[in-house]
């Protein structure tokens, strides 16, 4: 595991304990610097990057001012024709910068000191004064909000009703309208998926607590509590990210396939599928090891962004780990409300397949390909 991953895990742990991690905090340097010279270089780079980030924030205000000056004297239908060859910006981008200059002027000094990215300020400029203040205070307190988290604050403070927006959104014509509708639905499904996974982890961790007192884990109680959530989470995962494949016959409906075999998300898909069928769970002798070594690492992979052992990574430090957790601004999960699993109805029916078709989608060979899931 790299030093960067260690830092990210420490950051996640600090957030769970309710501690803020300010952007300007240089204590993280101690975790990556190996000698005094490296420590000095990293501290100098950090200071300069923070300065440049503040300059970028101030630069956004300056650009917005110039666009506003030009737009005030150019006829509306001519602004775009003038803008592109002169600046290279689109009208949409110019409008964003103008909104920063016009709507965030009262917060300029604080935004610069907090080094807020221009793209984040574009979102803040759409909000009410209360929303701007809420988001800005969060940044000033050291929180590292993503764009979607800021959007959630703007929506909440302005009383935007998503249920009212959706029918209007679905009236947008063309492929652009289809993309907007798909993006809106995907956000909702990712949020629901995250809530289900959070509930599952909570129950698994609670089920393992008796081990601390030398007592056994009760398998039936756990399967009754989480199996249906696992099944639904599997279906949501397929809806969100798994491509559809042709049916078994040319006249059959297309169906969801699988992630590429040998990948971490393929393992997630297989484990959720297996956990959705109580009869497929390991027996009592192997249950604890499966929960600790298979299920919990997968749940942490989804919720905490922890890598799964044995899977190669392409680290992208430009992607915030928190985007997979809190970006949707959803309310806290209520662990008292969950789908109860009563009995064991045929899995084929619940997944929308006719009898006998299910095995072709996730046959025994598929589970054999997943490490330690056979």
Kind of pairing, strands 255-256 and 244-245? antiparallel
**Confidence band of 366 (pLDDT split at 50, 70, 90):** very low
CA of residue 366 relative to chain centroid, distance: 27
**Confidence band of 272 (pLDDT split at 50, 70, 90):** very high
Range scoring the smallest mean pLDDT among 119-133, 264-278, 287-301: 119-133
* pLDDT, position 92: 87
Mean of pLDDT values over 136-153:
86
Mean of pLDDT values over 245-257:
88
Q: Among residues 241, 255, 242, 207, which one has the least CA distance to residue 227?
A: 207
- Contact between residue 286 and residue 294 where contact means Cβ atoms under 8 Å apart: no
Q: Among residues 107, 99, 163, which one has the least CA distance to residue 125?
A: 99
Mean pLDDT, all residues of the chain: 76
* pLDDT, position 268: 96
CA 176-159-182 angle, to 5 degrees, is 20
Residue 35 in tokens: 């000698």
pLDDT, tens only, 24-72: 455 554 555 556 677 778 888 888 888 888 898 999 999 999 999 998 9
pTM (two decimals): 0.48
């Amino acid at each position: 595991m790299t030093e960067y991953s260690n830092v990210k895990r420490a950051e996640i742990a600090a957030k769970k304990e309710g501690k803020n991690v300010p952007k300007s905090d240089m204590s993280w340097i101690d975790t990556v610097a190996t000698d005094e010279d490296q420590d000095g270089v990293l501290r100098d780079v950090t200071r300069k990057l923070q300065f440049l980030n503040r300059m970028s924030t101030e630069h956004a205000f300056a650009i917005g001012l110039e666009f506003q000056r030009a737009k005030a004297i150019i006829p509306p239908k001519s602004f775009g024709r003038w803008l592109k060859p002169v600046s290279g910006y689109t009208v949409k981008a110019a409008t964003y910068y103008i909104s920063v200059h016009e709507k965030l002027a009262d917060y300029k000094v604080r935004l610069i000191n907090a080094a807020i990215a221009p793209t984040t300020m574009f979102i803040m400029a759409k909000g009410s004064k209360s929303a701007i203040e809420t988001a800005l205070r969060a940044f000033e307190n050291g929180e590292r909000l993503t764009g979607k988290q800021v959007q959630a604050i703007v929506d909440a403070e302005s009383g935007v009703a998503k249920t009212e927006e959706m029918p209007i959104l679905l009236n947008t014509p063309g492929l652009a309208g289809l993309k907007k509708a798909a993006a809106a639905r995907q956000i909702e499904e990712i949020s629901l998926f995250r809530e289900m996974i959070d509930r599952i982890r909570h129950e698994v961790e609670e089920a393992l607590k008796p081990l601390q007192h030398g007592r056994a884990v009760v398998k039936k109680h756990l399967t009754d509590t989480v199996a249906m959530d696992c099944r639904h989470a599997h279906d949501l995962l397929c809806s969100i990210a798994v491509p559809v494949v042709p049916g078994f016959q040319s006249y059959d409906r297309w169906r969801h396939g699988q992630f590429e075999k040998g990948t971490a998300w393929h393992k997630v898909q297989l484990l959720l599928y297996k956990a959705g069928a109580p009869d497929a769970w390991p027996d009592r002798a192997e249950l604890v090891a499966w929960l600790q070594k298979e299920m919990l690492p997968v749940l942490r992979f989804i919720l905490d962004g922890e890598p799964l052992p044995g899977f190669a990574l392409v680290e992208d430090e430009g992607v915030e780990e928190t985007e997979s957790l809190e970006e949707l601004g959803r309310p806290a999960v209520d662990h008292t409300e969950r789908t109860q699993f009563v009995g064991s109805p045929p899995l084929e029916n619940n997944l929308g397949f006719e009898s006998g078709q299910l095995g072709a989608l996730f046959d025994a060979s598929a589970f054999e390909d997943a490490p330690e899931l056979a």
